[in-house]
Amino acid sequence: MKKKNILIAEDSVFSQMFIEEFVKLLDQDYTFVNNGQEVIDILGLEKFDIILMDIEMPIMDGIKATKIIRKDMDYPNSQIPIIALTAYKEIYSKEELLEIGINDFILKPFTFDKFNKIVRKYLASPEETISSIMKDTNYISKSKERLYNLNYIHDFTGGDSEFIHEMVKHFINNTPVLINKIKNIPIENNWESFLTEVKKLKPAFLFLGIEQINSEFSRLESLVENKKPQHEINPMITDIETKSAQIIETLKIDFNIN
């Protein structure tokens, strides 16, 4: 049977790596773009059967891109199935997403079963099902505090230790860089840029089961969205940086990464 062509709009490199690992198992063709404007541009050049659309992206977000596709594009692009990928269910309800023109949505961090079920439904390729995944091994922090929990990634990848190691290494190498970038953004008059960078960083913590920092990200976003002064926000950034460094050191020991 002819392969389907999937367009994936996602600006987080960590999320791209994660999604790609799963989409490979679907044995379909796929293309990544980084924002809604790139979605609009590539739809004029190539044919796709489905779009996985992140909601929060720079330049053009997934909501605006969806509206353009539904209102301004010709058939068949105007009717292409669009699945929203979002960690922010409190911003848009399911009813609001449907009203905008999104067919379905998957909340981050999405489970293997949820992703598989929804994407396959719109691919209309039920002839094969991905083999069941192992759930025997616990990938939980050896630290008594359980700083991270990789059971989710383990289940999602079917226990692919090489890929899990790659994701952990990516987190170790890139998280300090992203946090430092956030620290150096003067928040006043740069609220949107600051939130964009925070939302690029957040998926890695979600996928690695780092619950203590996930809740702090939510509080940080709330402070920024309410345009609180820099002196109220800086301590939280410092706290996230300190805890992230502790988690990184634990991961280095547990995974023998220098």
Instruction: Indicate whether 11 and 118 sit together in one domain.
Output: yes
Instruction: Indicate whether 118 and 161 sit together in one domain.
Output: no
Instruction: Indicate whether 118 and 162 sit together in one domain.
Output: no
Q: What b/e sequence results for 200-223 when a residue is b if at least 16 CB atoms lie within 10 Å of its CB, and e otherwise?
A: bbbbbbbbbbbeebeebbeebbee
**Number of domain units in the chain:** 2
Instruction: Indicate whether 98 and 17 sit together in one domain.
Output: yes
Instruction: Indicate whether 119 and 9 sit together in one domain.
Output: yes
CA distances in angstroms from 240 to 161, 220, 249, listed in the order given: 27, 10, 14
Return the bridge partners of 85, or none. 54, 106
123, 140, 174: which is the final residue of a domain? 123
Element (H, E) at 161: helix 161-183
**Residue 211's CATH number:** 1.20.120
Per-residue model confidence (pLDDT) at position 127: 36
Instruction: Indicate whether 73 and 167 sit together in one domain.
Output: no
The answer for residues whose C-beta is within 8 angstroms of residue 42's C-beta and 6 or more apart is 7, 31, 33, 48
Domain membership of residue 131 (yes or no) is: no
Instruction: Indicate whether 55 and 108 sit together in one domain.
Output: yes
Domain membership of residue 134 (yes or no) is: no
Domain membership of residue 137 (yes or no) is: no
The C-alpha atoms of residue 23 and residue 119 are separated, in whole angstroms, by 9
The sign of the dihedral angle between the CA atoms of 216, 217, 222, 224 is positive
In order along its 258 residues, the chain shows pLDDT tens digits of 578 999 999 998 888 988 898 888 888 899 999 999 999 999 999 999 999 999 889 999 999 999 999 999 998 899 899 999 887 554 677 778 888 999 988 887 777 678 888 888 888 643 333 233 223 334 555 544 567 888 877 776 777 788 888 888 999 999 999 898 888 887 777 778 888 888 888 888 888 888 778 778 888 888 888 888 888 888 988 999 999 999 999 888 888 887
Instruction: Indicate whether 181 and 76 sit together in one domain.
Output: no
Instruction: Indicate whether 102 and 179 sit together in one domain.
Output: no
Domain membership of residue 138 (yes or no) is: no
Instruction: Indicate whether 107 and 47 sit together in one domain.
Output: yes
Domain membership of residue 144 (yes or no) is: no
Could you tell me the residue range of the domain that residue 13 belongs to?
5-123
Instruction: Indicate whether 15 and 67 sit together in one domain.
Output: yes
Domain membership of residue 130 (yes or no) is: no
Domain membership of residue 129 (yes or no) is: no
Phi and psi torsions of 45, nearest 5°: -115, -30
**Residue 82's CATH number:** 3.40.50.2300
Instruction: Indicate whether 164 and 240 sit together in one domain.
Output: yes
Domain membership of residue 142 (yes or no) is: no
